[in-house]
Amino acid sequence: MELRVLQYFLAIVREESISGAADYLHISQPTLSRQIKDLEDELGTVLFERGSRRITLTEDGLLLRKRAEEIIGLVNKTESEIISGKTALNGDVYIGCGETEGMRLIAKAIKNVQMDHPDIKFHLHSGNAEDITELLEKGLIDFGVLIGVHELSKYNYLKFPIKDISGVLMRKDSHLAGLEVITEKDLFHLPLIVSSQDLEKDLIPNFLKDKNHRIVATYNLIYNASLMVREGVGYALGLDRLINTDCTSDLCFKPLKPKVEAEIIFIWKKYQQFSKSSQYFLNTIIKMFDEF
């Protein structure tokens, strides 16, 4: 059983067709079909059920997919570890990210990588979840950082060892600034500024749908929301630790009660073939999260 043929097999699993995998691998369809037939003969089993529109895995095929992913992953990890010990890596790593405190951990991982391999360059693209997943699907970024609950069936992922806390950004001269936490009742009749993505996806807290709450503006970047808060437009609902609220700032942040937390997820496409630089970065993230 050759490593190359296992990679061919996984390409068919990902593309769900021989023709799609052949295009991806830049080989002819008859050549790929022959390679898979030889693999099935070698193993003495059928790996795919071939339908009119797509192919699916048999029970043995499902087992081989699991083992092939483990084998390819181990080979890539071993290769990365050996090369990193002998050769300076270079190249580009692309990351899509939302606004979250979790990016501090990404920044630390970037710093750790560049200490050993200063020629690796990192490129960050800020956007909402739809932006990030679209870029991942198109292959324009290697990794994504999402906040909250999302459909993850297409991705491998790691959960950050920290969570974001939701609350209200306000001016320090507000009558609510002296409170430790903000409740639903505290926000009655006040002008509110909320995330446009949360509003579109119906992810805003249920109490905001009450007629006693007034949404006067939306935002997709919390920095822009903070400017509206400073100008007295209203109170911004968002995540903690994204806007400076120390003693030098005229703003403060108060968490919601009951407490609302959001998970932070680090994702990448299943069956992704990474560059050595991207694989090294992924290994660094995994190690950092394990040690956190």
pLDDT tens-digit map of 97-144: 989 999 999 999 999 999 989 999 999 999 888 899 999 988 889 999
Question: Which of 1-10, 21-30, 63-72, 209-218 comes out lowest in average pLDDT?
Answer: 209-218
DSSP 159-171: EEEEEEEEEEEEE
* Distance (Å, whole) CA 46 – CA 59: 9
**Closest to 221 in 3D by CA, of 102, 97, 95:** 97
Q: What is the pLDDT of residue 244?
A: 95
Indicate the CATH number for domain 90-162+263-291: 3.40.190.10
Average pLDDT over residues 186-190: 91
CATH topology (fold) of 3-83: Arc Repressor Mutant, subunit A (1.10.10)
In this structure, the chain runs to a length of 292
pLDDT at residue 202 greater than cutoff 90:
no
- How would residue 86 be classed by pLDDT, with cut points 50, 70 and 90? low
Q: Is the pTM of this model over 0.75?
A: no
* Residue 59 buriedness (CB in 10 A; 0-12 / 13-18 / 19+): exposed
Residue 104 has a pLDDT of 94
Q: Does the pLDDT at position 83 exceed 70?
A: no
Q: For the chain, how far is it from start to end, CA to CA, in angstroms?
A: 39
- Cα gap 216→63, rounded to integer Å: 54
Query: Bridge partners of 143?
Result: 95
Mean pLDDT value of segment 88-100: 89
pLDDT over 80 (residue 82): no
How far does CA 151 lie from the centroid of its chain?
11
Asked if residue 251 lies in contact with residue 241, where contact means CB atoms within 8 angstroms, the answer is: no
CA distance 155 to 133: 10
Supply the pLDDT for residue 204. 64
CATH 3.40.190.10 location in the chain? 90-162+263-291, 164-261
- Backbone torsions φ then ψ of 141, nearest 5 degrees: -135, 160
pLDDT (tens digit per residue) in 239-287: 999 999 999 999 999 999 999 899 999 999 988 888 889 999 999 999 9
- Tell me, what's the pLDDT at 246? 94
What is the C-alpha separation between 115 and 108, in angstroms, rounded? 11
**Strand-strand pairing, 235-239 and 191-195:** parallel
Helix (H, G, I), strand (E, B) or coil at 37: helix
pLDDT the model gives residue 201:
61
Identity at 10, one-letter amino acid code:
L
Count of CB atoms situated within 10 Å of the CB of 225: 25
The pLDDT value recorded for residue 70 is 84
State the pLDDT at residue 210: 65
> What CATH number has the domain spanning 164-261?
3.40.190.10
Q: Which is nearest to 285 in space by CA: 261, 258, 259, 266?
A: 266
User: Collapsing DSSP states into helix, strand and coil, what is residue 144?
Assistant: strand
CATH 1.10.10.10 boundaries in the chain: 3-83
Give the span between the Cα atoms of 156 and 114, in whole angstroms: 24
| Mean pLDDT computed over every residue of the chain | 89
**What's residue 145's pLDDT?**
97
AA identity, residue 275: S
Share of the chain above pLDDT 70, in %: 91
Percentage, residues of the chain above pLDDT 90: 55
Tokens, residue 112 = 């750790």
Give the lowest-confidence range in 32-36, 87-91, 188-192, 244-248: 87-91
Burial grade of 13 (CB within 10 A; 0-12, 13-18, 19 or more): buried
Which phi and psi angles does 236 have, rounded to 5°? Answer: -100, 125
